[in-house]
Amino acid sequence: MSVTAAKGFTAAGIAAGIKENGNPDLALVVNDGPRRAAAGVFTSNRVKAAPVLWSEQVLKGGELTAVVLNSGGANACTGPKGFQDTHATAEKVAASLNAAGHDETGGHAPGHVAVCSTGLIGVLLPMDRLLPGVDKAVAQLSPHGGEKAAIAIKTTDTVHKTSVVTSESGGGWTVGGMAKGAGMLAPGLATMLVVLTTDADLDSEVLDRALRAATAVTFDRVDSDGCMSTNDTVLLLASGASGITPGYAEFAEAVTRVCDDLGQQLIRDAEGASKDIKVEVVNAASEQDAVEVGRSIARNNLLKCAIHGEDPNWGRVLSAIGTTRAAFEPDRLSVAINGVWVCKDGSVGEDRELVDMRYREVHIVADLAAGTETATIWTNDLTADYVHENSAYSS
C-alpha cells in the first residue's frame, strides 16, 4: 500500500527509459487534498544535487501537491543545466496534472512539486525520455499505485520497501511510506529517498516537528557505510482526507514507527551486507556521547570485517570508542556481543567462544559506565560483495 495507504493520495510507477535496462524508473505521488501540508528533511552534505536544492526551496512554503522521483540518475554535480532539468521536471508534472484534469480545486503549480533523483552522480538526465514519462505516470495515477511507485525508485535495492501504520484513534488515520537505498540522512550514503504520506489533518509545522523527531532516531541512526549522499531526501505529505487531527505525541509515534520500519528494511537490504549490526551504547553521559560512540563503532572498517568473519573482536570496539570525545574511563568500558560480556572493565571478560554469531543479526552493547543515556545505531558488516558491488558500479 505504501504511499497510497493514506486516503487522499494517488501514485504511479512506470518505466520512462531513464534506465537503460528498461526497468521502472519514474514514480509520481500526488496529494489530492483537501490539505497539501508537507515537510522535508534533506542531506547535510554541502554538495547537494539539483533536486535537493529545488525541493528545499519548494518546502519552504510548507505545501506540496506532488512528488516526482526518478531512479537511473542522481542529477548531482550537473551544473546549471541539471538545475534547469529539475525545474523543467516540476513544471512538466504540474502541467501534465492540470492537463489531465487531475485536480478540480485550484490546479497544480511547479512550486508545489518536489523532485527527487537517485543514481550515478555527474550525469545529466535524459530529459527527452523523462518528460514524456511524466505524462505516462500521470495517466496511470491510482489510489492503488503505491507499490508500483516504490518499485520505480529502486536502484541497487533488491526489494522495494514500504510500511504502513494505522491508528484507530478519533475514527482512524494512517501514515504510510516508501523508501529506497541503504543509508542515512546526516550523514548518509547510497542515496536514501523516502516519501511518507498521511491522511491526518495537520499543518506543515506539526509535520516538520514530527518528521525531524522521527528521522533523528531512525534514518539518522542507520549508517551502513558512513558515506553521505548528495541526494538524501525524506518527505512527509498530509492530505487531511481523514478529517482527523491526532495529538502530536500519537502522530509523531506513528511517523517514527514507519521510519523505523523503513530504516530496518534499508539496513537489511544494504549493498553486499551479510550481517545487520545493532550497536547499542548504554550508560553514556549524554545522548550525544552515545550517538558519537555508536557511530564510531558502526564505521570501524576493521570491526565490520571482523563481524563479517563472525569474530567477536571486542578489541576493535574499544579501539573505536577510544577515538571519540565521549566521557568514559578506558578501564570501565564493557562490551557484550550477542549477549556475552566479552570485555569487562576495559579488559578480557567472558569467554569469546561462547558468542554465537551464526545469525544475520548481531547485537553489540557498549557500556560506557559514565551515565544513564543510550542510543542505538544500525550498520552492516563489510564484505567482499560490498567491494565488488561498489567497484563495478559505474564502470
Residues in the annotated binding site for substrate: 155, 180, 191, 271, 390, 395
Residue 374 in the binding site for a second copy (CB under 8 A): no
Question: Does residue 300 belong to the site contacting a second copy (CB under 8 A)?
Answer: yes
Q: Give the one residue of 142, 322, 339, 356 binding a second copy; rule: CB under 8 A.
A: 322
Which residue ranges are tagged as binding site?
155, 180, 191, 271, 390, 395
222 versus 343: smaller Cβ distance to a second copy: 343
Q: Find the binder of a second copy among 99, 100, 159, 387 (CB under 8 A).
A: 387
Is residue 226 within the footprint of a second copy (CB under 8 A)?
yes
**Which is nearer to a second copy, 55 or 313 (by Cβ)?**
313
Q: Does 306 bind a second copy (CB under 8 A)?
A: yes
* Given 99, 100, 106, 120, the residue binding a second copy (CB under 8 A): 120
Assess 275 for contact with a second copy (CB under 8 A): no
Site for a second copy, residues 326 to 345, rule: CB under 8 A: 328, 330-331, 333, 343, 345
Q: How many residues bind a second copy (CB under 8 A)?
A: 68
180 contacts a second copy (rule: CB under 8 A): no
Active site residues: 191
The distance of closest approach from Cβ of residue 238 to a second copy in the complex, given in angstroms and rounded to an integer, is: 31
**From candidates 225, 260, 292, 367, binder to a second copy by CB under 8 A:** 225
Under rule CB under 8 A, residue 47 binds a second copy: yes
Chain-centre distance for alpha carbon 20: 25
Q: Which residue, 173 or 378, has its beta carbon nearer to a second copy?
A: 378
Residue 179 burial class via C-beta count within 10 angstroms: exposed 0-12, middle 13-18, buried 19 and up: buried
One character per residue 57-96, x = contact with a second copy (rule: CB under 8 A): -----------------x-xxxx--x--------------
Binding region for a second copy (CB under 8 A): 44-48, 74, 76-79, 82, 120-124, 187, 189-190, 225-230, 299-302, 305-306, 308-311, 313-316, 318-324, 328, 330-331, 333, 343, 345-348, 382-384, 386-395
